[in-house]
Structure 1
């Protein structure tokens, strides 16, 4: 190869190397095309007028002090179980050895057996009971043949054996009837034995106590003053939560009272079961109900100065408007400053 030809080949090689280096430099140093990082278009929602709040359902324990109404004076096997509730004159509370224990209205507790020849106010109370349950007997205060006949008829109509005597312990005498009575169901279970001296029948106190038993997380949602509703039958009692207390096991007890500080059941406590303890349900307003224009919480923005604003959209025009938050629950907020029917922007398309 001639000297000229070799120089030409060298020059051409250098030119190619330079061109390749320039191309490689551009490929390496040129930044890649940028991805579209604009946020997705925010959504708009229509403001609606509604009530906002949060209610949870919790159990309520009701405790009633029990005052003994009578001491059992019969001995033997229980043949009819006791049952608590409202009783009237002539109702059988329980039975021992087929001897019924009966509710009677009177002044003095039964202090003796009643039979032929007995006279007094206790006989008159017994006769009134017989007459109230349909027996043909006059209230004379003296046990006579008509009283004996009426007593035997009363027994046999109710599948009890006839008897000529009302044994001591067969009458539970109360000053007024009907009345709520608590009968010890365990002591009067059929087949059980009674020896006498047991306190079986009691009258519930007039001031039941109501309390919610909760864990720590639930207690945090129920500060003192929280409104609570306790439904029972045809009643719906309004109550207020008090200060909570905790036991050694971590169970927290929150007492409930009526808004005036009295018993939750007010004048309707007689409608409660007569037992010493009862369980009911309650509705606890952990977020008090508030009515007004409702927007999603994601539509709210807090300004550096603390003001809360929303973006109102009308005919394509946006307006930042200051609002006041009156309450919030479950991702929604009741606010003042916008009207129902207006539309607001929700950030990042969040519903």
Structure 2
């Protein structure tokens, strides 16, 4: 997957903070190549010094955030049909369009795919509308409607409904009564039941559902550049395995009741939906790709030394074994490496304090 370059202001701030920590640690341990009055850069060093090389390649900056693995809420199935509930699915059942959602007076209420709710019966003579097209699209997908779905209920629609009713053992009326279906989206898992067989149905919810797909939710600060749909992430599961994914939804800002902080709930999807396995309701660690730098020189962060007057140096090993402090400028910090520019080249050996 191609990673997009994005200049992000906060990454520079984070880099400065990291540099400060590194330099403080190095000053306590003894700075490599720190230029000072009377310093002799030509003095040979111990052969057992730790070194690394200046490498050229791609650096990927990441920002790590905690997240929660779970299923998203699915549709709430309501008992709009009037009568006595004669059948309900069980908790854990997976339902999808074309499945029965429940039965009232032994009449099925069927799931149809669609964004609009049902507000009228589907029958000959009804006015055209997008809800008609939703019904025809479902019947087309199920093999009963052979023409291109449109918004007009005509003889072809009646024939398709009759064919579907015959296949399901229903009365072949050619019409669909009000509340004989519920438009839903995608598949979902039955959650908590709030009704039982024998109860009266008439408008209240019957059961809640969860989506079959598992996602990770991360709360990000308002205005965070990480909350961008399509951006790449890497998610570490409790098993220690990592799985790639991307940002698929950004919610409205909300206030956390415990911390009083405002955050933006951000939804991440797995590139491989099977990656989480049987895990649900688990804590995960998410690495957001914040910036990508291609074809740059980099060294270990610990190779940086502080120069007199500010800035940074690398202690570069010379051909005769001596070292020379070479000033450099830092760029992107990515993990334990940092981008550098200056009088350095790929393959140079630099000292890394133990």
Q: Normalising by structure 1, report the TM-score.
A: 0.50
More helix by share: 1
Q: Identify unmatched segments of 5+ residues in structure 2.
A: 1-43, 147-152, 209-215, 235-242, 270-280
Q: Does the aligned pair in 1 maintain the 2:313–2:326 contact within 8 Å?
A: yes
Deviation at 1:255, TM superposition (A): 1.8
Structure number with higher relative contact order (C-alpha < 8 Å, ≥ 6 residues apart): 2
Q: Identify unmatched segments of 5+ residues in structure 1.
A: 1-37, 203-209, 258-262, 266-277
Matches within 5 A, 1:37-76: 42-52=49-59, 53-56=61-64, 58-59=66-67, 72-76=80-84
Deviation at 1:311, TM superposition (A): 1.8
Verify: 1:140 aligned to 2:145, yes or no: no
Give 1:250's match in structure 2, choosing from 259, 271, 279.
Answer: 259
Give 2:313's match in structure 1, choosing from 306, 309, 315.
Answer: 309
Q: d(CA) in 1 for partners of 2:103 and 2:45?
A: 84
Cα shift readout 1:262-318 (whole Å, capped 9, x = no counterpart): x999xxxxxxxxxxxx99988443764445222223322112300211121221143
Instruction: Check 1:166–1:211 CA distance in 2 against 1; reply closer, same or farther (3 A cut).
Output: closer
Instruction: Check 1:45–1:71 CA distance in 2 against 1; reply closer, same or farther (3 A cut).
Output: same
RMSD over equivalenced CA pairs, Å? 5.9
Give 2:328's match in structure 1, choosing from 317, 323, 326.
Answer: 323
Q: d(CA) in 2 for partners of 1:181 and 1:344?
A: 57
Q: Does the aligned pair in 2 maintain the 1:81–1:189 contact within 8 Å?
A: no
Q: d(CA) in 1 for partners of 2:178 and 2:232?
A: 43
Cα shift readout 1:131-175 (whole Å, capped 9, x = no counterpart): 7455699953998xx89975762332xxxx658796552144x6x
Deviation at 1:324, TM superposition (A): 0.5
Instruction: Provide the aligned length of Structure 1 versus Structure 2.
Output: 262
Instruction: Check 1:327–1:147 CA distance in 2 against 1; reply closer, same or farther (3 A cut).
Output: closer
Matches within 5 A, 1:1-351: 42-52=49-59, 53-56=61-64, 58-59=66-67, 72-81=80-89, 87=97, 91-97=98-104, 98-102=106-110, 103=112, 109=118, 111=120, 120-121=125-126, 132=140, 133=142, 139-140=154-155, 150=163, 153-156=166-169, 168-172=178-182, 185-187=191-193, 191=197, 193-198=199-204, 212-213=218-219, 224-226=224-226, 229=231, 236-237=246-247, 247-250=256-259, 254-255=263-264, 283-285=286-288, 288-291=291-294, 292-316=296-320, 317-337=322-342, 338-347=344-353, 350=354
